[in-house]
Amino acid sequence: MTRYLVERTFPDGLAIPADDRGAKACLDVVDGNAQHAVTWVHSYVSPDHRTTYCVYDGPSPEAIRQAAATNGLPVGKITEVRVLDPYFYH
């Protein structure tokens, strides 16, 4: 699977409650992604909660876009990435 970095913008900020509703919302995204063979690895959220940088594994950028559409999530930019580990050379 190819790894992608997906940048998303939430003009009003991303609000995921830290309770069962938030857990369900995240699991719903995982389920929606599975329909497109896409796996959400993890995300980074800016301090103002308006921008996220999400790491995904998937077969193609189009699959990432389809999964986002299924989940009602915006897609700003999709970049194919590879891991650079600072300990690789040790």
Q: pLDDT of 6-34, one tens digit each?
A: 999 999 999 888 889 999 999 999 999 99
Q: What is the CATH number of the domain that holds 76?
A: 3.30.70.3090
Q: In this structure, is residue 53 part of a structural domain?
A: yes
Q: In this structure, is residue 88 part of a structural domain?
A: no
Buried b (16+ CB within 10 A) or exposed e, 55-68: bbebeebebbbbbb
CB 58 within 8 A of CB 37: yes
Q: In this structure, is residue 19 part of a structural domain?
A: yes
Domain hosting 57: range is: 2-81
Note the pTM of the prediction, 2 decimals: 0.89
Tens-place pLDDT, residues 34-86: 999 999 999 999 999 999 999 999 999 999 999 999 999 999 999 999 988 88
Provide the number of structural domains found in the chain: 1
Instruction: Say what the pLDDT of residue 17 is.
Output: 85
